[in-house]
Each structure stands twice: as C-alpha cells, then as structure tokens.
Structure 1
Amino acid sequence: MKKQGEILVVGLGSGSEDSLTQEARQAIEESDVIIGYKTYTALIANLTAGKKVISSGMRKEVDRCHQALDLAEAGCKVALVSSGDPGIYGMAGIMLEVAQKRNRHIPIRVVPGVTAASIAAAVLGAPLMHDFAVISLSDLLTPWEKIRLRLELCAQADLIICLYNPRSHGRTQQLTKAWQILSKYKKPETPVGIVKNAGRSDQKADLTDLGSMLSVDTDMSSVIIIGNESTYIAHGKMITPRGYVL
C-alpha cells in the first residue's frame, strides 16, 4: 500500500533556536523533505541533516506549495517552512489555496510559530496590551488604496498599529505616506518602537515618537509599533496600560 503523505506548514518564529517552538522542532525532525525560502532553510540547517532540502528565492511561494503537494502525493511527509507564524502573512493560506485549486485532499497541518509582532513587542516592553492592528505596507499583493484606508480607520479608532514590511529597496515612499496618514490622527509625541531583525543575533531596537519616526533606519526586516493615546515610555520600556486600577 502506498504511504500516505502529509504537509506540515511550519512557523519558525524569528528563526533562532530560542523562538522555535517544540511543536515546530518536532515537525521538522519527523519530516522527510524540507521546503522553504533559502534564508529560512539556512536558519534550521542544524535540524535538517540527512533530509532532502529544497530551497528557492523570493516570489517563489506558489511554486514551493506545488512542490510540497507533489511530494506529499508521492508519499512524503513535507515540512513547508515559513518565518514567524505561517498563518500571519505566511505560507499556510497559500498552501491551502493551492491544494483547493488542484482539488487535492492531502492532509495539511499548520504548525504555529511566534509572529514578529509578538517578538518585537517583547523586546520593547508591553506595547500591545490593548486593541491593536497589524498592517503590512507592502503593496505588492494589496493595492495601496486599501492599505491607506486601513491605516486611516485604525488611526481614527486609536488602535495601536504594528507595521510590517515598512520599506525595501524598491519601496521607499510607503512608510512616508503611512506616517502622513497616522500624523493626522495621532499626536507627534505618540511613542513608537522599532525593532529590526527581531529575535535574531543582530537585533536592534529603537524607542522614539511619531514625530521622529522617519529618522530611524528601517527595512523589510523591521517591525514598527505605534502606540495609542495611553501608551508611554518609562525606564526604557514601551507600555500600553490595559486599564487596571493600580
């Protein structure tokens, strides 16, 4: 009888040993094949010795899902790895869509990971203690007009706003546009925390405010957390009160 294949969509957190959950580690160890973006497969090289590893570059996400599905149909247990949490801007949705599009019924299990917002928040202190929104500034797959509307409404609602993908070599103006929108509704002294390479060995964190936010160097690996009207900075920590009487 042919062996039943399976796909495990695995979240790697930041990619460091410390942020890899036990469930994610076990999923990688029990898989026959590891598929992922080359940077992410390199981060877990110590866990993939003796396994088949298939790596590819940026914008090959759909191809990786097709490869995973083909290998699982051949009887392999495949770990499709994703940074952070695979269900938050990760590979889980793409994998499920590809399987549905091809009308395949291979078992697919999503293994959660620690998303960048959680890691960055922990580095900064406790900025996400109240209602917040996570918004990616990448307009590669989402029209800027829709991103703009989300920024407008979240800022008007005084949500804490966590920005992913703020800037890249090819996208230099989106963060400035976002800042202009947020500045209409949030005060210049609103605390802002910026964490670059959150959870990795070259992690860098900055505490600033909305008025000075654009002066801090950011790139695709940066997470920006903009507080609400109650957020403050004390003793080097960014804190959003939950509302308890102390």
Structure 2
Amino acid sequence: MQNHNIVFVVGLGPGGARFLTAQARSALQQAEVLCGYTVYLDLVRPLFPEKETYSTGMTKELDRCRWALETARAGRAVALVCSGDAGVYGMASPLLELAQGYPDVTVEVVPGLTAALSGGAVLGAPLAHDFCVISLSDRLTPWEVIETRLACAARGDFALALYNPSSKGRPDYLQKAVRILLANGKTPETVCGIVRNIGREGQEKRVLTLAELEKTQVDMFTTVFIGNAATRELAGRMVTPRGYKQ
C-alpha cells in the first residue's frame, strides 16, 4: 500500500548499494520522488533510474527540506537522502524542526551506516569502548565550542571519530585538534587511524600514532580515528579492547 503525505529521511551509508539497509531500500522504493544534495542523489540514482529527482547544491539544506515537506503535503511520498546516517550530521534534525509547520505530513527517519561505523570496520575495532564523534567543521558550530569538546574528550580518555577534519578553507584544523588533544591528556604514542573514501573506489586506510597524525594531510573525504589509552595496533589493525580478561 502506497504511503502518501510522507517524507522518508534516508541515510544512505558511505555509498553503493551494498551499504543500504533493507529499511533504506524499502523507503527509496516506496518514494515517488527522491530529493537531496546532488552528490548523494548520484549514489542511488542508478538503482532507481525511473524515479523523479530533485537536487540542490551544498548549503541549500533548508531549501531541500522545505521542498520535500511541500511536495509531501501535496500528496506525494518523498525520500530526502543524505550520506551516512540521517540523524548523525544528517538531514533528520532540520527536517523535523521544519516539519512542525506541516502537521499533515508524516516524517519517518531511516538510519544508515555513519562513517564512524563503516570506517571503523575498515580499520578493525577502534570504537569498541566509549567514544565521541566530533566534527571539526566550524560552518555551523563555533570553533571555541569544538575546542571545548575536544578537550573534554581527551580528559575523559574517550576514543574519537573526527568528521570533516580538513578542507581548503580549513587546512590546519586537524593539526589544531591534535594539539588540543595532546594538551589535555592524549599521548603522542596514542594509536590512530585514517580512512579515506570509505566504501568507495580508491578506499585507503592507515594506522599511525597521534604524533604522526599531527603531520599528516587529510581532506573532507577522510574520517580520523583516535584511540584511548588502551587502544593497540594488532596485525595492522586498530583495536580498542572491551576489557575482557584473556
């Protein structure tokens, strides 16, 4: 039975059909129109070539949300797509905020594999104990807030996954983050890992120390993992022990 007046906000994972959850695939099949950032729509367009699509460029997130809600209010089923998980730096939050003005539209949040999980699997098990996920992008969050969160994570000896670690406009943000971590309890020998192009062509991974990470150049296609005091490199993999006695 076809759902109408509904927006599915769908996390696509890192990209590629094999990373779609069954729930995500079902939502995309039910939708009459797919809506999203151009790059993310391109990930699923080949799977549903018959579907109508609506795309916008970067920084047009609220425009996409409003379009999706207006289209659903007109009686159609819409899938608003984003990479990773819809609720982790995804589109679920702004959509649900705007949906307050559309009481006749149903919103269903469909989770997906966020980079902390898909990238962590490439490296091994870097987040097997308590961890934090922090974005280094200050486009929507003041850098002073990011600094505080990094310092608190280091003092708590959390493992970390860092999103948006660097860009052309922020070439030194990862280096700044590493220095904050070192100043708040992380040691230079802390085991770290980086994964670039998770689940896509050209995927790369590397295990290194925090001292080496400070000198490493990365980009927006990279997710950075920083271990806790117990994290080890085992046979080339990054492993944070759960604490079981051997």
Give the TM-score band, short-chain normalised.
over 0.9
After the TM superposition, which parts of structure 1 deviate over 4 Å for at least 4 consecutive aligned residues?
A: none
Q: Is the 8 A contact 1:29 1:47 kept in 2?
A: no
Secondary structure of 1:194 counterpart: strand
Secondary structure of 1:241 counterpart: coil
Q: Which amino acid aligns with 1:54?
A: Y
Partner of 2:17: 17
Q: Is the 8 A contact 1:28 1:47 kept in 2?
A: no
Partner of 2:53: 53
Show CA shifts across 1:35-56 (max 9, x none).
Answer: 0110111111122222110111
Partner of 1:35: 35
Partner of 1:179: 178
Q: Could you tell which deviates more after superposition, 219-228 or 3-12? A: 3-12
Partner of 2:168: 169
Q: Could you tell which deviates more after superposition, 216-225 or 85-94? A: 216-225
**Using the alignment, how far apart are the partners of 1:22 and 1:32 within structure 2?**
18
2:139 equivalent to 1:140? yes
Q: Which amino acid aligns with 1:211?
A: A
1:66 positional shift: 0.4
**Using the alignment, how far apart are the partners of 1:51 and 1:227 within structure 2?**
43
**Using the alignment, how far apart are the partners of 2:202 and 2:47 within structure 1?**
21
Q: Is the 8 A contact 1:130 1:240 kept in 2?
A: yes
**Using the alignment, how far apart are the partners of 2:124 and 2:4 within structure 1?**
45
Partner of 2:130: 131
Partner of 2:194: 194
**Using the alignment, how far apart are the partners of 1:4 and 1:24 within structure 2?**
17
Q: Is the 8 A contact 2:5 2:104 kept in 1?
A: no
Q: Is the 8 A contact 1:197 1:203 kept in 2?
A: yes
**Using the alignment, how far apart are the partners of 2:67 and 2:235 within structure 1?**
49
Identity within the alignment, % = 48
Q: Which amino acid aligns with 1:56?
A: T
2:204 equivalent to 1:208? no
Secondary structure of 1:183 counterpart: helix
Q: Aligned residues, how many?
A: 243
2:68 equivalent to 1:68? yes
Q: Is the 8 A contact 2:116 2:161 kept in 1?
A: yes
**Using the alignment, how far apart are the partners of 2:172 and 2:146 within structure 1?**
13
Q: Is the 8 A contact 2:36 2:56 kept in 1?
A: yes
Q: Which amino acid aligns with 1:233?
A: E
1:107 positional shift: 0.4
Secondary structure of 1:18 counterpart: helix
Q: Which amino acid aligns with 1:81?
A: V
Unaligned runs of 5+ in 1: none
Q: Which amino acid aligns with 2:92?
A: A
Q: Is the 8 A contact 1:99 1:105 kept in 2?
A: no
Q: Could you tell which deviates more after superposition, 215-224 or 162-171? A: 215-224
Secondary structure of 2:15 counterpart: coil
Partner of 1:115: 114
Q: Is the 8 A contact 1:129 1:240 kept in 2?
A: yes
Q: Which amino acid aligns with 1:187?
A: T
1:118 positional shift: 0.1
CA RMSD of aligned residues (A): 1.1
Structure 1-normalised TM-score? 0.96
Structure 2-normalised TM-score? 0.96
1:199 positional shift: 1.3
Secondary structure of 1:86 counterpart: coil
